[in-house]
């Protein structure tokens, strides 16, 4: 596209996604600007940007949630568009509305679409009205006075969810009606605390489901396509760790059905820009879960198999350009797997870790989307995800083999990460067979546990560490003063 309606794009985000967006923006000949908190002053994204504006807040996260300050920064650098990335303000309808009111292009869907799909209760009703599959449920908004009684009619087990929720917060699994009312009150309290909204809904919980999502794109001219599915079933605390495409669980017929369902939902919503329709899948049946009205963390695996740069597509759509291709033009080739590299200790309940990045070595011939660099400090101020390692192969077996080598070659010293855990995960027979579900890690705690070292191995590692540690090696290498006084004399 030669005639962009904006010449500068402000990235309202940080870390790896900011670097990822800037890379495409600058490759298109556009100016890439960024906002940053002082905690990110020396970050890779700030060094990479053409312009950078410091923003402030009571906390680092608070700065990135200050929409008015971000819009002011966009004006100061002359940005004609704002890309929110994921997280922070990416699904905030009021921010999208304020950006448009300021005469700046919001790289994402309309505020109305964000509001519709961001409210899980409204989204479910909208999807059900369109004849798309949703799990049996009871929605509090339908009739608050009868909510508990209607919830009792939903087949056990039940899953209670906050209407405005996300990221697994406030969700409760109920296996006995005896505790239903108590769990509803707990979920309501958590929903109010996390989202400022205590409204709930209850749905039939599918035991050990798989999490399947479909990438969709829609333009301002009414065109909608899907870019196939991603499986995101390997999770901890309802948050994804490994994503892959295509899903090993789907037949060609099911793949076509679930992808067309996602495209149909987006088409019914008149959806614009990039979005992801998520489903739970089990026993050959899938149900609508939610729609994320933004770019997903795991979008690179879709890029690998389709050859589409999703950030480029987002910018083209935001600029008013038509997709220029139909569903028959979208191809899927090979297999791709993404691994989220977290600063955390899996053996201690995936507790976040901190520390300096003393040494950083990334694997060759592998895509690594990263927001960190050597010398940087990893703090507890933000989400612990540091980078994403994306491997591609001819098929799933080839991708797993390449992943083993890439994870072994990824080295970060100074801060504990989950790379050793990821290597154990992909060697597990169930993962190799593609037989996973959202409760897989809970059912297999040994994967997260730190394996015990043999005493001989421990001693060998300690000895090797001592030999390369200058404070220990130098005294050992010193010539005693009595011998040094002899000089070069020899007998």
DSSP 27-76: HTT-EEEEEE-GGGTTSHHHHHSSEEEE---SSHHHHHT-HHHHHHHHHH
Please tell me the least confidently modeled range out of 131-135, 353-357, 458-462: 458-462
- Judge whether residue 482 has pLDDT over 70: no
Helix (H) or strand (E) holding 348: none
- Judge whether residue 141 has pLDDT over 90: no
- Please name the residue that has the structure tokens 């050859």: 307
- Judge whether residue 413 has pLDDT over 90: yes
Residue 393 has what pLDDT? 98
- Judge whether residue 404 has pLDDT over 60: yes
Residue 451 has what pLDDT? 83
82-103 tens-digit pLDDT: 999 999 999 999 999 999 999 9
SS3 216: strand
Residue 195 has what pLDDT? 84
Residue 485 has what pLDDT? 67
Average pLDDT over residues 258-263: 98
Average pLDDT over residues 69-85: 98
- Judge whether residue 408 has pLDDT over 80: yes
- Judge whether residue 491 has pLDDT over 60: no
Encoded tokens for 199: 């409204």
**For residues 398 and 98, what is the distance between their CA atoms, to the nearest angstrom?**
47
- Judge whether residue 143 has pLDDT over 70: yes
- Judge whether residue 64 has pLDDT over 90: yes
Q: Helix, strand, coil: what percent of the chain each, to 5?
A: 40, 25, 35
DSSP 122: H
- Judge whether residue 128 has pLDDT over 60: yes
State the catalytic residues.
294
User: Strands 239-245 and 335-342, how do they pair?
Assistant: antiparallel
> Residues, the chain, total?
491
Binned at pLDDT 50, 70 and 90, residue 120 comes out as confident
Domains observed in the chain: 8-107 (3.40.50.20), 136-204 (3.30.1490.20), 210-447 (3.30.470.20)
| Strand partners of residue 225 | 217
- Judge whether residue 473 has pLDDT over 80: no
43-63 tens-digit pLDDT: 999 999 999 999 999 999 999
Average pLDDT over residues 145-167: 89
- Label residue 252 left, alpha or beta by phi (over 0 means left) and psi (-120 to 50 means alpha): alpha
**For residues 123 and 136, what is the distance between their CA atoms, to the nearest angstrom?**
15
Residue 433 has what pLDDT? 98
Average pLDDT over residues 1-11: 93
SS3 81: strand
SS3 77: helix
226-255 tens-digit pLDDT: 999 999 999 998 899 999 999 999 999 999
Residue 466 has what pLDDT? 76
- Judge whether residue 12 has pLDDT over 80: yes
**For residues 63 and 58, what is the distance between their CA atoms, to the nearest angstrom?**
7
Residue 418 has what pLDDT? 97
355-397 tens-digit pLDDT: 999 999 999 999 999 999 999 999 999 999 999 999 999 999 9
Residue 136 has what pLDDT? 87
**For residue 408, which of 392, 426, 394, 396 has the smallest C-alpha distance?**
426
**For residues 366 and 23, what is the distance between their CA atoms, to the nearest angstrom?**
17
301-319 tens-digit pLDDT: 999 999 999 999 999 999 9
Binned at pLDDT 50, 70 and 90, residue 453 comes out as confident
């Amino acid at each position: 596209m030669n005639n962009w309606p904006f010449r500068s794009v402000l990235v309202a985000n940080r870390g790896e996604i900011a670097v990822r967006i800037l890379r495409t923006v600058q490759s298109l000949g556009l100016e890439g600007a960024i906002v940053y908190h002082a905690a990110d002053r020396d970050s890779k994204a700030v060094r990479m940007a053409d312009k950078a504006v410091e923003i402030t807040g009571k906390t680092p996260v608070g700065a990135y949630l200050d929409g008015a300050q971000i819009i002011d920064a966009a004006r100061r650098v002359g940005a004609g568009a704002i890309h929110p990335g994921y997280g922070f303000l990416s699904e905030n309808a009021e921010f999208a509305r304020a950006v448009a009111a300021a005469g700046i292009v919001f790289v994402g869907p309309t505020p109305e679409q964000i509001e519709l799909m961001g409210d899980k209760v409204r989204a479910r009703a909208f999807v059900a009205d369109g004849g798309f599959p949703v799990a049996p449920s009871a929605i509090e908004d339908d009739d608050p006075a009868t909510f508990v009684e209607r919830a009792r009619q939903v087949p056990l087990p039940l899953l209670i969810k906050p209407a405005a929720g996300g990221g697994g917060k406030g969700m409760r699994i109920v296996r006995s009606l005896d505790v239903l009312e108590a769990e509803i009150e707990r979920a309501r309290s958590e929903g109010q605390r996390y989202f400022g909204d205590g409204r709930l809904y209850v749905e039939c919980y599918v035991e050990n489901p798989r999490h399947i999502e479909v990438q969709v794109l829609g333009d301002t001219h009414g065109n909608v396509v899907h870019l196939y599915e991603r499986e995101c079933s390997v999770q901890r605390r309802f948050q994804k760790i490994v994503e892959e495409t295509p899903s090993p669980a789907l037949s060609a017929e099911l793949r076509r059905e679930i992808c067309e369902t996602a495209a149909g939902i987006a088409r019914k919503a008149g959806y614009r820009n990039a979005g992801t329709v998520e489903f739970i899948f089990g026993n050959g049946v899938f149900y609508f879960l939610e729609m994320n009205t933004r770019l997903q963390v795991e979008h690179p695996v879709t890029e690998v198999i389709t050859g589409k740069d999703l950030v480029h597509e987002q910018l083209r759509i935001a600029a008013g350009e038509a997709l220029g291709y139909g569903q028959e033009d979208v191809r899927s080739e090979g297999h791709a797997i993404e691994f989220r590299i977290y600063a955390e200790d899996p053996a201690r309940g995936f507790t976040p870790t901190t520390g300096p990045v003393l040494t950083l070595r990334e694997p060759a011939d592998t895509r690594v989307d990263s927001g960190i660099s050597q010398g940087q400090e990893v703090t507890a101020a933000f989400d612990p995800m540091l980078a994403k390692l994306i491997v591609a192969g001819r098929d799933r077996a080839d991708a797993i083999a390449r992943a083993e080598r890439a994870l072994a070659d990824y080295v970060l010293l100074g801060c504990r990460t989950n790379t050793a855990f990821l290597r154990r995960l992909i060697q597990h027979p169930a993962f190799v067979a593609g037989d996973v579900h959202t409760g897989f890690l809970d059912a297999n705690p040994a994967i997260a546990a730190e394996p015990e070292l043999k005493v001989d191995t421990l001693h060998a590692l300690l000895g090797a560490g001592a030999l390369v540690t200058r404070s220990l090696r130098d005294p050992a290498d010193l010539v005693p003063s009595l011998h040094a006084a002899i000089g070069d004399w020899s007998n």
